[in-house]
Each structure stands twice: as C-alpha cells, then as structure tokens.
C-alpha cells in the first residue's frame, strides 16, 4: 500500500469475514462498496464476486485501494473517486452493497434499497450510526438484523498471554427479500 494512513481503516479481518458472510456473495454478483478506504474489503469481495464497484470520496483512499488491488493481482474492481450520493444517480443495479463509509446514510439507503437486488451490509462503530441505519432500514422495510462483533487478540505479556480487545463493530444487515 502507498503508506498513507487513512482514518477508519482498514477493516479488521474478523469483522470483514462476518460482513462478507452476511453479504452472501455469489460468483455472478456485482457488488458496490461505499467508502472503500484501503480497498481491503473490495479486494476480498473481488475474490468471490464477478465485479466490484468501489467508491470513496477521498483521492488518497482511491490511490491506496488501487495500489493494494494491483499488488494483490485483482483486476475486477472499478474504483471511483466520488461521493456516493452523486454516483448513485447512475442507472446501475447491484446484487449486494457494502457500506463502510457511513456519512449521509439517510440519503444513501433509500437509493440503495431500490438499486440493490439482495443484500446491504453496513459496518458501524458509532451508536448514532447504528441507530440511524436501523431506523432508516426499518422505515424502508429492508431491516434484517444487527450483529455486534467484539474481537480480542492475544498478546504476550510477562511470559504469558493476555487478550487486547479491538473496538466493537455493529454489522447491520438489510435484505430486499428480508431474512
């Protein structure tokens, strides 16, 4: 990666594993990622899906993500440096969407509800984002569940092992066909 430190990322492996599982990716899927950051989730999803469309409004994030995809030998990701609200004015339809960048959810989710055929997964760390996402998805009739994931990793200390917790993440799932 380009060495640029991006706020909010990268997504922890364990969180990504649960999020990708909840997306239920298929080899024929076209997936939208909003807020791609380092590109880690897009790269992992690209190994399971046909096509990834990866958005971030930060030029440094797009550069970092493109570099990571190239180094990983992944070629089925389209990167766009744009605001999600602007991008979503296009006619493109997606099988699934992953939202890692959580700004403007109340504007983005109603559009995603119409443009995503199957599953929308949002990762949130703030309780305000959790509340906003759940309330909006409930109003849209697409809310399925929230999974709170708390991971701790082992670290050596004083000749033994302790666990250091990583901040909890709320994985919010919405489906066109509900659960």
Chain segment 109-132, per-residue pLDDT in tens:
999 999 999 999 999 999 999 999
Among residues of the chain, what percentage have pLDDT more than 90? Answer: 86
Cα separation of 39 and 106, whole Å?
24
Whether the Cβ atoms of residue 78 and residue 53 lie closer than 8 Å to each other: yes
- What pLDDT does 138 receive? 97
Count how many Cα atoms sit within 13 Å of the Cα of residue 90 in the half-sphere of its side chain.
Answer: 13
* Three-state DSSP state, 19: helix
Whether the per-residue pLDDT at 5 is higher than 70: the answer is no
Q: pLDDT tens for residues 78-115?
A: 999 999 999 999 999 999 999 997 789 999 999 999 99
* Three-state DSSP state, 122: strand
- What pLDDT does 9 receive? 67
Name the nearest CA neighbour of 21 among 176, 148, 171, 179: 171
Could you give the domains of the chain?
Answer: 13-175 (3.40.50.150)
Left, alpha or beta for 156 (phi > 0: left; psi -120 to 50: alpha)?
A: beta
Whether the Cβ atoms of residue 170 and residue 125 lie closer than 8 Å to each other: yes
Residue 64, C-beta contacts closer than 8 angstroms, at least 6 positions apart = 1, 2, 4, 6, 37, 38, 39
Q: pLDDT tens for residues 133-176?
A: 999 999 999 999 999 999 999 999 999 999 999 889 999 999 97
* Three-state DSSP state, 143: strand
Whether the per-residue pLDDT at 178 is higher than 70: the answer is no
Transcribe 53-78 into DSSP letters.
EEEES-HHHHHHHHHHHHHHT---EE
| CA 115 to each of CA 31, 96, 111, 139: distance values in angstroms, whole numbers, following the listed order | 11, 9, 6, 17
């Amino acid at each position: 990666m380009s060495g640029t430190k991006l706020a909010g990322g990268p997504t922890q492996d364990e969180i990504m594993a649960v999020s990708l599982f909840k997306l239920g990716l298929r080899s024929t899927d076209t997936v939208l990622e909003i807020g791609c950051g380092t590109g880690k989730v897009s790269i992992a999803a690209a190994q399971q899906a046909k096509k990834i469309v990866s958005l971030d409004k930060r030029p440094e994030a797009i550069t970092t993500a493109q570099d990571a995809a190239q180094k990983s030998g992944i070629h089925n990701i389209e990167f766009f440096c744009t605001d999600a609200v602007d991008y979503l004015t296009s006619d493109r339809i997606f099988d699934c969407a992953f939202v890692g960048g959580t700004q403007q959810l109340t504007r983005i989710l109603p559009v995603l509800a119409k443009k995503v055929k199957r599953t929308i997964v949002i990762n949130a760390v703030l309780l305000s984002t959790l509340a906003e996402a759940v309330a909006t998805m409930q109003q849209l009739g697409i809310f399925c569940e929230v999974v709170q994931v708390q991971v701790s990793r082992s670290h050596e200390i004083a000749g033994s092992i302790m666990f250091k917790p990583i901040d909890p993440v709320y994985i919010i799932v919405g489906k066109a066909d509900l659960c």
